[in-house]
Copies of this chain bind each other. A is one copy, B any other.
């Protein structure tokens, strides 16, 4: 696998466009479109929230039962969730409009929305936005970049990534973009993430690879413990790289999975570090757990704790809060075996041994916790399994952003 510069248009045959449709934000890009020259096999994973946004329902139906996918229309600003029948009809109208202008069937068009819950989409602006975008569709690096800007809400920067991998001597490419920021505690997938590859791969393996990968990537991110109504990961494969189709779990499939994991891990970490109001990316690595699932549950519990996150913001090596969060995670373990460390570019320090707090160099600990990327590493000394969860600190700005988000 080779990391390359690029985003959603890096794989062959994928184009992107965006526009400022004025849906809710003023004077900024807020709609994006992804288009593939050839029909794609599609895999998707969606929020497990019982309250599902209209576009989630629309996309799930198409990804599961439609013949193929060729375009995605995205808007930022309004989530089209809790919008009843009217909201569902807007998904259909969006797909109809895009299908008509792109000359593809309406059920080859996926839609995705992010933003305020409980407001209806202004269909006239959406429609106008689609008209603007279709003639602008482009293969360029720049088109991918501005599309990744257009899907942001409270994100402070865009999140894109691309990589190459080989299948039977043929170079394939995978690229992606996502947005995160708030209401981020994905359950089966995350806010909005769009992935594209030119590899030829069977629909079954495409879905299996995606489902397996999100468990250790997007599902290990938490910004605020709130699982959104709109969480969506879409992976489109158009086969234009020219490789022999991947139909079994061979070397080519392994190369694809490695590249997919790199893409998803990169986007997941970017999302965690750009959590609303965040000043630091905070990782919790659990080692020596009895099972993979136990390691995931423990690391995710600690990275999600308000008290742990506030302590990271205060550069306070408050080991008790981390042990406490492990304790209420639901996992069973022996607390008297835990060793806990903090680590960052400034160094590494042990703060707990065998479940009891150590006296440690507070000044060094504060330096370690003042870096933009901070890790807590907990060794449970009970088994062979590890997991890492990603989050961020809890800051005044998180509250500022969320106390008046609608206004």
| Chain A contact residues, CB within 8 Å of chain B | 48-52, 79, 81-84, 86-87, 116-119, 182-183, 185, 187, 224-229, 304-307, 310-311, 313-314, 316, 318-321, 323-329, 331-333, 335-336, 351-352, 354-357, 394-396, 398-400, 402-407
Q: Are B357 and A316 in contact (CB under 8 A)?
A: no
Q: Are B313 and A82 in contact (CB under 8 A)?
A: no
Q: How far is the CB of A321 from chain B (nearest CB, A)?
A: 7
Q: Are B50 and A335 in contact (CB under 8 A)?
A: yes
Q: Are B323 and A117 in contact (CB under 8 A)?
A: yes
Please give, as numbers and ranges, the residues of chain B lying within 8 Å of A187 by CB-CB distance.
328
Contact of A83 among B51, B118, B310, B357 (CB under 8 A): B357
Counting every copy of the chain, the complex holds: 2
Residue contacts A-B, CB under 8 angstroms, 17 given: A49-B327, A50-B333, A51-B323, A51-B324, A79-B320, A82-B335, A82-B357, A83-B357, A117-B320, A118-B323, A187-B328, A224-B307, A225-B225, A226-B321, A228-B324, A316-B404, A394-B402
Given contacts A183-B324, A305-B226, A310-B399, contact A352 B49 (CB under 8 A): no
Given contacts A306-B225, A357-B118, contact A402 B50 (CB under 8 A): no
Please give, as numbers and ranges, the residues of chain B lying within 8 Å of A79 by CB-CB distance.
320
Contact of A394 among B83, B318, B335, B399 (CB under 8 A): B399
Q: Are B321 and A117 in contact (CB under 8 A)?
A: yes
Q: How far is the CB of A192 from chain B (nearest CB, A)?
A: 15
Q: Pick the 8 closest A-B CB pairs, nearest first.
A: A117-B320, A314-B403, A118-B357, A51-B327, A84-B356, A310-B402, A227-B328, A49-B327
Please give, as numbers and ranges, the residues of chain B lying within 8 Å of A395 by CB-CB distance.
399
Q: How far is the CA of A354 from the CA of B225 in the complex (A)?
A: 26
Please give, as numbers and ranges, the residues of chain B lying within 8 Å of A326 by CB-CB distance.
50-51
- Least CB separation from A326: chain B residue: B51
Please give, as numbers and ranges, the residues of chain B lying within 8 Å of A406 by CB-CB distance.
316, 318
Please give, as numbers and ranges, the residues of chain B lying within 8 Å of A407 by CB-CB distance.
316
Choose among A86, A311, A325, A399 the residue with the greatest number of B CB atoms under 10 Å from its CB.
Answer: A399
Please give, as numbers and ranges, the residues of chain B lying within 8 Å of A226 by CB-CB distance.
305-307, 321, 324-325, 328
- Least CB separation from A185: chain B residue: B328
Contact of A313 among B86, B313, B324, B399 (CB under 8 A): B399
Choose among A81, A319, A324 the residue with the greatest number of B CB atoms under 10 Å from its CB.
Answer: A324
Q: How far is the CB of A88 from chain B (nearest CB, A)?
A: 11
Q: How far is the CB of A177 from chain B (nearest CB, A)?
A: 24
Q: How far is the CB of A377 from chain B (nearest CB, A)?
A: 17
Q: Are A355 and B82 in contact (CB under 8 A)?
A: yes
- Least CB separation from A115: chain B residue: B320
Q: How far is the CA of A185 from the CA of B328 in the complex (A)?
A: 10
Given contacts A83-B357, A84-B354, A336-B84, contact A398 B310 (CB under 8 A): yes
Q: How far is the CB of A392 from chain B (nearest CB, A)?
A: 12
Given A84-B354, A394-B402, 6 extra CB contacts under 8 A? A48-B328, A87-B356, A306-B306, A310-B399, A316-B403, A395-B399
Q: How far is the CA of A313 from the CA of B182 in the complex (A)?
A: 17
Please give, as numbers and ranges, the residues of chain B lying within 8 Å of A325 by CB-CB distance.
226
